[in-house]
Amino acid sequence: MTPKAINPESLGAPKGYSHGVLGPEGGRVLYVAGQPGWDAAESGPAPGFAEQFARALDRVLVVVREAGGRPEDVARMTVYVTDLDAYRAALEPLGRVWRARFDRRYPAMAMVQVTGLVDEGAVVEIEATAVIGGTP
């Protein structure tokens, strides 16, 4: 069973996230540490925003799959960005990146603009919580 989106009508329709996500009973909770879109130890110039977003999502999913989960088990994400304007400017390619990994399913999400990330050149980092297994 996968987590269920909870979107109270009184809060209006969410766009690009769910208001809440209810994990299946008896599921195991996996907390995924912040996964950067760029590792300062890599060589060459840091990639652009959309590519870093894709890389950070892929790293989250590596952890989820290692724990026996699937993309649809991701119940919550916090996306940290260094430039909210760059995020907004990249919405179209970000949508393609998202749908390639999660289709049209959205976890409960928060977007946070920060002044910097640990890895020099990183412009996005994503942490997540997944609920793996369980019953309805």
**Full-model pTM:** 0.88
What does each C-alpha distance from 87 to 37, 54, 100 come to in angstroms? 13, 13, 18
Q: β-strand 108-113 against 20-22: which pairing, if any?
A: unpaired
* Distance, CA of 133 to CA of 69 (rounded, Å): 8
Task: Return the bridge partners of 125, or none.
Answer: 36, 80
The pLDDT, as a whole number, for residue 64 is 94
pLDDT higher than 90, residue 4: no
User: What does the pLDDT average to over 37-46?
Assistant: 87
Q: Give 45-82 pLDDT, tens digit per residue.
A: 889 999 999 999 999 999 999 999 999 999 999 999 99
DSSP assigned state of 121 = T
* Distance, CA of 10 to CA of 12 (rounded, Å): 6
Mean pLDDT (the chain) is 91
- Domains within the chain, CATH numbers bracketed: 26-132 (3.30.1330.40)
pLDDT higher than 80, residue 128: yes
The pLDDT, as a whole number, for residue 5 is 83
The pLDDT, as a whole number, for residue 101 is 97
The pLDDT, as a whole number, for residue 42 is 85
